[in-house]
Structure 1
């Protein structure tokens, strides 16, 4: 099918931003929708399957409407992810100082979070389901490949809860397991030793709160980092706890961690069972928990796929290629649409 579309009124600056340098954005859109795009001045000719061509034209118009400034590749990729899903609900995030109207969690599909990032958006249905699960359950699992927003969205919910005063502190933890390497002895105090393992969590905190605010929160004890091995014997009350890279826990460690949760606390466990760095033959605590806890009331599980990847387009294709090349692990098999009662 061939669709023709012209932008009226013609704005050469906006057209340049939509097309990108040397029509780079158009090539990206062509690859995403499997269409062919040709243009002459303000007129575009899109050729491909009917549905794909219609989506490509709709995206071009959407980009043109907001092309007062240059469109960055990352912004285009996020727009593509959303355009490929008709039913992706919106997530709105407001600045910390802005007034909030209504309840903490608005009626679906809108969710309001309090962070300093105003442009954050749930780009896929799974991401929005994940956010609703976090806000509606004491323990939430987010399983899926890299780049799907598991960790970032969990940290955003933690920052929101801290800003609202619904929790007293944020606790970040992960197993100290290297990705196929042996780093040996690490110098410094406990925080310095653990810092390399928790860097993705730090980055999300800095992005959502600002470096100064994060520094002050650490000084006040509102944010705490701890290696998983140091969690035994603790009871975590009135805290938002995030266990990242949980695929590298053992079943014993996972059970120990989950039983630390106290009153007024919320817990999010994230990980990718296709990237386990445990010794060969060792069962992943995350895969084990997904199997054992799938029907436990009060626990929610959100399964992400390569379709939820919001990084560079190649990341999704890399994930798909690896998924196609490896057999499905039985321990990681649970129904993605299962949602326990709240």
Structure 2
């Protein structure tokens, strides 16, 4: 790496940092199709990146050049480790700093002691994109009961389902149970046609979407048919003892206090339970208290129960989602 000054012009001179990459094929992947990865980095860091043979020249102020060089070096290491680069990887590296090469399956649990966190599923490798997400995933592996609380788009449900699939693949649990309260979000939809599954599936669709991201469609259908994956409304949990299962209650802010108590006491031997919710999206009737709020108040100091919180800074959907959340919070809505 070298630093030089470009020829003077009417505008103030830009400094240049030159990076050299030994493998031209990996450099092509680093740049992305039609140099889209470079364009993304240029936009995010306010730098200019020029490709010259097996070198990349970064133009801009000193801090931006240093950050861009570190980012490109980290992404190149991902490629050397045999992994691909997606737009989400660029965002993750910018939020969390450079990671380390991936660990193989035999070291899956070792890396949760402080190294990079990666969740391997049948279809993709999932990585937390923020520090809060990283702490949350670690808590899911370290605790038998964990809460993830924060606004929409912060990955609470998505990461929990990924961890559940990973634990199932590793044989740490025998089944995955995903549940939600069947509460309408401010609209009266009326009676839905079909059998019981047809009636509740619209409420459960976000859980199906997450599963389909991590498991092939045919395998998901087979596991559901064999009852190794269950997706059911919260009311269906009453009277059960859930042993050696990964159990997720999503949208927990819409569970009543009695429903929350009922669900939490389903925890059986060898199981992991995750509760996710957003305190700003309660759809319960006026005057009915949220079981999530009561659980926070009553269980906050109980050992071996973790509470992880997210803010708009952890939103990993479209950047406008974070701005929308901030605007509503500022208005007190």
* Same fold per superposition (TM over 0.5): yes
Residues 1:320 and 1:91: Cα distance change in structure 2 (over 3 Å) = farther
**Are 1:46 and 2:70 matched, yes or no?**
no
Task: Report how many aligned residue pairs link the two structures.
Answer: 312
Q: Highest CA radius of gyration, 1 or 2?
A: 2
* Aligned match for 1:83, one of 59, 75, 94: 94
Residues 1:188 and 1:139: Cα distance change in structure 2 (over 3 Å) = same
Shift of 1:192: 1.7
**Are 1:154 and 2:166 matched, yes or no?**
no
Shift of 1:156: 1.4
- In the superposition, the TM-score normalised over structure 2's length comes to 0.79
Distance 1:136 1:167 in 2: 14
Distance 2:101 2:276 in 1: 20
The answer to whether the Cα contact below 8 Å between 2:118 and 2:127 also exists between their aligned partners in 1 is: no
Distance 2:72 2:109 in 1: 35
Offset from partner CA, 1:281-322 (integer Å, 9 cap, x none)? 433222221222111112111111222222222222222333
The answer to whether the Cα contact below 8 Å between 2:153 and 2:316 also exists between their aligned partners in 1 is: yes
Shift of 1:271: 1.4
Distance 1:91 1:226 in 2: 38
Deviates more, 1:75-84 or 1:104-113: 104-113
Distance 2:295 2:14 in 1: 50
Distance 1:285 1:304 in 2: 19
* Aligned match for 2:204, one of 195, 198, 205: 198
Distance 1:15 1:162 in 2: 36
Distance 2:175 2:206 in 1: 19
**Are 1:37 and 2:47 matched, yes or no?**
yes
Q: Residue 71 of structure 2 aligns with which residue?
A: 59
**Are 1:218 and 2:228 matched, yes or no?**
no
Residues 1:15 and 1:218: Cα distance change in structure 2 (over 3 Å) = closer
Offset from partner CA, 1:40-75 (integer Å, 9 cap, x none)? 66544224xx5455324433555678799xxx9x93
* Aligned match for 2:185, one of 174, 179, 189: 179
Shift of 1:244: 0.7
**Are 1:304 and 2:310 matched, yes or no?**
yes
The answer to whether the Cα contact below 8 Å between 2:118 and 2:128 also exists between their aligned partners in 1 is: no
Q: Residue 297 of structure 2 aligns with which residue?
A: 291
The answer to whether the Cα contact below 8 Å between 2:256 and 2:288 also exists between their aligned partners in 1 is: yes
Unaligned runs of 5+ in 2: 1-12
- In the superposition, the TM-score normalised over structure 1's length comes to 0.77
Distance 1:160 1:16 in 2: 28
**Are 1:260 and 2:266 matched, yes or no?**
yes
Offset from partner CA, 1:227-262 (integer Å, 9 cap, x none)? 111222222122111001112112221111111111
Residues 1:57 and 1:113: Cα distance change in structure 2 (over 3 Å) = closer
Residues 1:284 and 1:117: Cα distance change in structure 2 (over 3 Å) = same
